[in-house]
Amino acid sequence: MPIKTVYNAQIEHLQILDETGKLDDKLAKDTLTDEQVSYLYEQMTVCRQLDEVAFRLQRSGRMGTYPQNKGQEAAAAGSGFAAKKGVDFLVPCYRENLALFLHGLPMHYVLLHWMGDERGNQIPEGVNITPISIPIGTQMLHATGIAWAFKLRKEPRVAVTYFGDGATSEGDFHEAMNFASVLQVPCVFFCQNNHWAISVPREIQMNSETVAQKAIAYGMPTIQVDGNDLFAVYKASRDAIERARSGGGPSFIEAVTYRLGDHTTADDARRYRDQKEVEMWAARDPLVRLRKYLEKKDLWSEDRQKRLEERAKAIVQEVVKTAEGIEKPATDDIFDYTFAGELPAELQRQKATMRTSSLGQRPEQVGLHAVPERA
């Protein structure tokens, strides 16, 4: 019997705006208008300012561990802007702040989350996102379920889920990809490949040349894009979202980017990253690239930049003031936001006494007697 090839595949890489701010006009056609680019650049700048202030909040003991988004703003901006606010659903990880803000999440909610205040996860009514997900990879299963619900209800809506390259090494990732593909649900899997899963480089955690090719095993359309290129991210995300909306099933996007900061404020990336690598990627900073583009088109100036930076500082200052000035949560919230409907009698006693039944209601239990005095 002759040997025959049963399957061939290739992965395309998309870049529209290069590091110098040069745009491929042909590929950029029908993507973003000058007005939209200016708007998104402004939002990216505000998000960068929030990152810098959040870092200082943690260092001064006013907030817990925080993961900076610095260097990855274009990935969140382009994909978030491509999804329909109030229609589609975003299922984030923890480095997509700007996408969440574009879809209506108040900025101070992110700070509340990292300050340890659960009200940062109490998503406002009408804002179609799930809370920030800290466990690696679990949110992709949620996105698949949400998208499946959209399909069963015959609603023209899409779920977009975010995760890092490290999450694609998790079993939950493969289960979500398989279910999404088999059921052909309207879900877009958006991988922010920032090259590092904390301190483990991509080359060590996987043997595939790209992350995007993992989608091939699931019969899913897949593409790799320059994740620091706003235009490329927007185009790939828009195409995948509209394909899903029209019944074309799930897609996978690998956005090649880089985190310019540490993994979190609890990390010191200098211990495992070469400074030359960081400097190389700093030259590809999505904000610098976009500003070069705007300046080449005479859409930006030093004066406008200065005014933007001042406005960004004022916005973030107000966000911090709101987060730190929120009223102290009521202890009843522990019960009121856990149970739907009437509390069982046991929990009513706990709520009334602020003691568990075993400790507050039955002190005669073994081990709770007064310790006898020694003779």
Q: What are the residue numbers of the active site? A: 259, 263, 272
Instruction: Tell me the one-letter amino acid at 148.
Output: W
Assigned token pair, 152:
């069963």
The residue ranges of DSSP E strands in the chain, in sequence order, are 13-14, 89-91, 159-164, 187-193, 196-197, 200-201, 222-226, 251-256
Q: What is the Cα–Cα distance from 201 to 137, expressed in whole angstroms?
A: 17
Q: Name the phi and psi angles at 186, rounded to 5.
A: -80, 80
- DSSP letter string, 349-373: HHHHHTS-IIIII-TTSTT-SPPPP
Strand ranges, E, within 61-178: 89-91, 159-164
Q: Are strands 200-201 and 196-197 parallel, antiparallel or unpaired?
A: antiparallel
> Whole-angstrom Cα distance, residue 36 to residue 293?
13
Is the distance from CB of 45 to CB of 309 less than 8 angstroms? yes
Measured between alpha carbons, how far is 112 from 63 in angstroms, rounded to an integer?
9
